[in-house]
Chain A
Amino acid sequence: MFDQKTIEMLLIGIKDTLYMTIVSTFFGYVLGLPFGIVLNVTRKKGLHPNRVIYGIGDFVCNIVRSIPFLILLILLIPFTRFVVGKSYGSTATIVPLVICSAPYIARVVESSLNEVDEGVIEAAKAMGAGTWQIIFKVLLVEARVSLFTGAVITTGLLLGYSAMSGTVGGGGLGDIAVRYGYYRWQADIMIVTVVLLIIIFQVIQNVGMHFSTRIDHRKK
């Protein structure tokens, strides 16, 4: 159906898409996880309520999240060029993906941690656990199912966003879909990329959910 060149292009597209999704999820968590912990700890009912820190974090989080990704992508071009050296291609796309996902991840992490039963935290306090011990030995451990589920959802979201970056030369399957499907009216290639994206998404989602039930000790 497709010639060797097209198949090769699609394979590279898959590789680029996975590369963007995985690397940006990773760096998104490098920034977003501590950010989310700070939000949880400084909130009104947190371990160390601090209105100023929470207020700033909350504000930054909302500002970045309220900018549509496509706009952020364009807005960040100078910054991306500064960090990566160029503004197109899959590596360059990782920069806006990370910036866009970090506050989103922070929110997901914050709400996961907020769900941890207050009684359990209090029990840890009563045993003399300090703030860091409570964060690492209780909060992150007890919220792990929710944290993991959040990470799976985030990965799926970033897969979609990485495809969106195709409109500005981002690389990966989205880029192929835009170039061949939109500019050249080659519907067959576009359909194949869409099917591939669906398959990748399904794999991420199902494998993720499989593991999230395996680490859950609260129910059978």
Chain B
Amino acid sequence: MGMEKEVLKIEHIHKKFDDLTVLEDVSLTVHEGEIIVIVGPSGCGKSTFLRCLNGLEEINEGHIYIDEEPVNPAGKNITKIRERIGMVFQSYDLFPHKTILENVCLAPVKVQKRKKDEVKEEALKLLERVGLSAKVNSFPRQLSGGQKQRVAIVRALIMHPEVLLFDEVTAALDPEMVREVLDVMLDLAKQKRTMLIVTHEMAFARAVADRVIFLDGGHIVEDADPKQFFDSPKTDRAKKFLSTFEFEEK
């Protein structure tokens, strides 16, 4: 690392909800092609952190830059910046009255003003890649949770974002559907996409991450490579957190 371009630069950000401090002095630099997995206990600020990165939440202090350009939710160019940062949510949030194809094509056609035919062709290719060719004309209600989430990932991908944010995208899924979504993400990892992933799937985190960030109490407590973090965490807080995923044998 270090040679690649710095895509995202987060400098000393603070985030408060009224009196509650959610993020305190968080800094992070993300390089092109890097896959960062963010783990931590519930309420540690993981989701808020991701939401700050594309300006869905306003930060109280600090700076966020994407390719040197500041991310400012009140700024005029915030929509342009958001186009460059794809985000996938826990609750899929597909448009219920639009077909799968319409869901995927809406933003590139209406927001990016790209040609309809060209977008459609790309959408079909991407949907095929995630195994959903048969569903292009279905409506979201006709899909399973795992299928909906794969559509949501395609919907983010078709915008050609420089960074992809995944906010607990498998947390609402039945166990047997988790895998199909994680496989899509592993495929993206192979393509060397820049990704920030918030997840509770520890085995997946270990397999996919270049770096693991352990967030607790609004701070980055550890920033390590996955092997080191999972095998020999430095802090007691990380040890305690990881131990909640283990079970002693009878």
Q: Which residues of A contact B (CB under 8 A)?
A: 117, 119-120, 122-130, 133, 137-138, 141-142, 144, 215-220
Contacts and interface: CB of A to CB of B under 8 A. Distances in A.
B97 A217 contact: yes
Nearest to B103: A123
B79 A129 contact: yes
A97 B107 CA distance: 40
Nearest to B97: A217
A120 B85 CA distance: 17
A137 B97 contact: no
B69 to A, nearest CB: 14
A120 B82 contact: no
18 contacts: A119-B91, A120-B96, A122-B56, A123-B87, A123-B155, A126-B89, A127-B155, A127-B156, A128-B107, A128-B111, A129-B79, A137-B106, A142-B95, A142-B97, A215-B97, A217-B97, A217-B139, A220-B141
Contacts of A124: 107
Interface string B87-106: 10101011111100000001
Nearest to B81: A128
A119 B91 CA distance: 8
Contacts of B93: 117, 119-120, 122-123
A127 B157 CA distance: 10
B98 A141 contact: yes
Interface residues of B, number: 30
A126 B50 CA distance: 11
A125 B56 contact: yes
Nearest to A130: B79
B215 interface: no
Interface in B21-67: 54, 56
Contact of A128 (B80, B91, B139): B80
Q: What are the 10 closest A-B residue pairs judged by CB atoms, nearest first?
A: A128-B83, A123-B93, A127-B107, A119-B93, A128-B82, A126-B87, A217-B139, A128-B79, A217-B97, A218-B96
A144 B97 contact: yes
Contacts, number: 79
A203 to B, nearest CB: 26
A117 B92 CA distance: 12
The A interface, classified by DSSP as helix, strand, loop or mixed, is helix
Nearest to A142: B97
Nearest to B90: A119
Contacts of B54: 126
Interface core residue of A128, A133, A144, A215 (most chain B CB under 10 Å)? A128
Nearest to B108: A127
A125 B91 contact: no
Contact of A219 (B81, B141, B152): B141
A220 B159 CA distance: 31
Given A126-B56, A219-B141, A120 B95 contact: yes
B96 to A, nearest CB: 5
Nearest to A118: B93
B110 interface: yes
Given A127-B159, A128-B159, A218 B79 contact: no
Contacts of B94: 120, 123
A120 B97 CA distance: 11
Contacts of A130: 79, 111
Contact of B95 (A125, A141, A215, A220): A141
Contacts of B79: 128-130
B165 to A, nearest CB: 8
Given A123-B89, A128-B79, A137-B106, A218 B97 contact: yes
B154 to A, nearest CB: 12
A123 B104 CA distance: 12
A133 B95 contact: no
A131 to B, nearest CB: 9
B58 to A, nearest CB: 13
Nearest to A136: B110
Contact of B89 (A122, A142, A217, A219): A122
A218 B99 CA distance: 11
A133 B110 contact: yes
Interface core residue of B79, B86, B98, B156 (most chain A CB under 10 Å)? B79
Contact of A127 (B91, B111, B139): B111
A141 B97 contact: yes
